[in-house]
Amino acid sequence: MQFFAGKVVDGQRSSSVVSAPVSGWYVIKQVQGSCQVLCLAAGDPLLSQQEHWGPFPSQAEAIARRVGLIRAGKCQPV
């Protein structure tokens, strides 16, 4: 994801590209076996520490995937 920042200097418009951390919705498997839906940045350390699925573009899609993971036996219901 990129944001464009513009400013006017001496009557000239200049713009620059500013990168923002990309975030998305993830299904994170907890130690006890249940899964939690969280919105995390792509470089979040939690993603390297625990089993996860995602990123998903919306919370609704992540919840639907969590339901599928519960039905498949990969996550325990809460």
pLDDT, one tens digit per residue, over 12-68 is: 554 444 455 689 999 999 999 999 999 999 899 999 999 999 999 999 999 999 999
- Cα separation, 19 vs 6, in Å, equals 14
**Domain containing residue 70:** 21-78
pTM: 0.72
Strand partners, 16: 5
Q: Which two tokens stand for residue 35?
A: 């899964």
For tokens 């036996």, the residue is: 73
| Number of domains the chain is built from | 1
Element (H or E) spanning 2, and its range? Answer: strand 2-9
The answer to whether position 55 is within a domain reads yes
Query: Which runs of consecutive H residues, i.e. helices, occur in 8-78?
Result: 46-49, 59-71
